């Protein structure tokens, strides 16, 4: 039982937050996804056991939420917002740029398992589009140059300083 071995304290803490065990479903699934990069069958069985549910009861939840994946994804998951607000400011071009840069289409993972490209719906960054989320981080006001820099940094350092900080738009300083 992998999760329990590694995260017993976290799991105990999570369970303490709820009077009904089943509520720990998404917290545990998020934990499993963080741990393995996707939700494995083993993880679903283990979470079912922790929550005293059947594996199908966990499975049906996993398939409902888009952030949870039943398949492994690349090290960097590029999720480009394709909703109208970002599309108005060029997100389709951004996707094209990423397609050529990563040599994969949306929904695909690069053969070296470095990158997965997805088109997703609104991520709440409409004033700063086009934007994308790479794993946990937001990158906004994207241009082709900025994307290239992000790619270079990620490949080299695994992270990039261009990621969005605590959000404020417009910046107070710019005003008035």
Q: Which of residues 126-165 bind another protein (CB under 8 A)?
A: 126-129, 133, 136-138, 164-165
Q: Mark residues 98-127: x for contact with another protein by CB under 8 A, - for none.
A: --------xx----------xx-xxxxxxx
Q: How many residues bind to another protein according to rule CB under 8 A?
A: 67
Q: Residue 80 belongs to what H/E stretch?
A: strand 76-81
Q: What is the 3-state secondary structure (H, E, C) of 98-165?
A: HHHHHCCCCCCECCCCCEEEEEECCCCCHHHCCCEEECCEEECCCCHHHHHHHHHHHHHHCCCCCCCC
**Contacts of residue 122, Cβ cutoff 8 Å, sequence gap at least 6:** 81, 83, 85, 86
Of 1-9, 45-53, 93-101, 147-155, the segment contacting another protein by CB under 8 A is 45-53
Stretches 94-102, 143-151, 152-160, 166-174: which one binds another protein (CB under 8 A)? 166-174
Please, what is the angle between helix 25-36 and helix 2-16, to 10°?
150
* Torsion of Cα atoms, 10 then 13 then 14 then 19, to 10°: 160
Among 56, 103, 113, 155, binds another protein (CB under 8 A): 56
Interacting residue with another protein among 61, 104, 151, 154 (CB under 8 A): 61
Q: Does 24 bind another protein (CB under 8 A)?
A: yes
Residues near another protein, by CB under 8 A? 17, 19-27, 29-30, 41, 44, 48-49, 51-57, 59-61, 63-68, 70, 82-85, 87-89, 106-107, 118-119, 121-129, 133, 136-138, 164-170, 172-173, 175
């Amino acid at each position: 039982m992998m999760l329990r071995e590694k995260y017993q304290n976290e799991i105990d803490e999570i369970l303490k937050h709820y009077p009904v065990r089943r509520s720990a479903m998404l917290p545990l699934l998020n934990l499993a996804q963080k741990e393995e990069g996707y939700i494995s069958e083993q993880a679903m069985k283990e979470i079912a056991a922790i929550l005293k549910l059947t594996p199908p009861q966990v499975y049906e939840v996993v398939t409902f939420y888009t952030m949870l994946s039943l398949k492994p994804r690349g090290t960097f998951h590029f999720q480009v917002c394709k909703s109208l607000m970002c599309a108005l400011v060029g997100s389709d071009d951004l996707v094209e740029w990423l397609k050529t840069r990563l040599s994969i289409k949306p929904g695909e993972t690069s053969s070296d398992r470095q990158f997965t490209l997805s088109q997703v719906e609104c991520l709440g960054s409409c004033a700063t589009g086009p934007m994308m989320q790479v794993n946990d981080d937001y990158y906004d006001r994207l241009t082709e140059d900025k994307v290239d820099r992000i790619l270079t940094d990620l490949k080299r350092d695994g992270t990039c300083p261009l990621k969005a900080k605590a959000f404020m738009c417009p910046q107070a300083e710019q005003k008035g």
